[in-house]
Structure 1
């Protein structure tokens, strides 16, 4: 890992810093969402890790203990969520450092972790990263808006169309 990269859990004083950094890099997330992430960290429902590169925000990643994806929820599989790395800092090992840290947390507590990935071009880098890291499909096929896509059906290719993957310790 790059010695200039630091990974740590989110603190309350990070809320405004994260909001502004994401906004500055056109990854904008609503301030209410970032506040909710902190509150869920405080309550234990979520773990949010921040990556700092030379002490500046470089990305973040979340682990949600109770997934909104029904299969993960039924099986007690935590879900990695909302993975953002500042575009100008990609390919420096920041994403892998965040994934290493969040996987370690998940494996220590659950022994398994899941993630959903979109199916169109914008998700290509994520698809490749997860495959290289050993994630495999959960065997339930393509999911659209939380439901399995049935053969012969038509779906809109968008953010809600995903393939869910798992990785065990």
Structure 2
């Protein structure tokens, strides 16, 4: 990702109702400049169609404590799903992660719109980290009530083969 990509990403995400504020996208580019994350952009027939990030320091405490980088905020524009773009982005980000780390992590939401991602991660060899359900990166206590929103996740890891 370069500074010139900020407006493109913002425009395409906005056109496809993927709620990413311009300030967030600008902050992503800035964090690429500082080395806090690596953002990969996907293109299909010269059109921007998706992105994901590799956070060198996760927001999930278990990953932080264990030095596990996190693949984060993975989006493929709906009309371009099922074309192998997500798989290609995952392949590229894993190659980058495994140059430096022996393990990489990812969190996934649990409601229906995350179904394709859940299946992709499983097919790519990701396994649950064994810590159970998390809400805002904290364990869900049995019997408690949480909201089924984007902050309800299960975290997975993949070990370099």
Query: What TM-score, normalized to structure 2?
Result: 0.96
Runs of at least 4 residues of structure 1 off by over 6 A? none
Does structure 2 retain, via aligned residues, the 8 Å contact 1:19–1:28?
no
Is 1:37 the equivalent of 2:23?
no
Q: Which residue of 1 aligns with 2:146?
A: 155
Root-mean-square deviation (Å): 0.9
Aligned residues: 160
Question: What are the ranges of 5 or more consecutive residues in structure 1 without an aligned counterpart?
Answer: 1-9
Does structure 2 retain, via aligned residues, the 8 Å contact 1:66–1:77?
yes
Q: Which residue of 1 aligns with 2:98?
A: 107
Question: What are the ranges of 5 or more consecutive residues in structure 2 without an aligned counterpart?
Answer: none
* Counterpart pick for 1:94 among 85, 88, 95: 85
Report Cα offsets for 1:55-96 as digits up to 9, x if no partner.
110111100000110000000100011111111111111000
* Counterpart pick for 1:65 among 56, 62, 65: 56
* Counterpart pick for 1:133 among 109, 124, 129: 124
- Larger mean CA deviation between 72-81 and 141-150 belongs to 141-150
Query: What TM-score, normalized to structure 1?
Result: 0.92
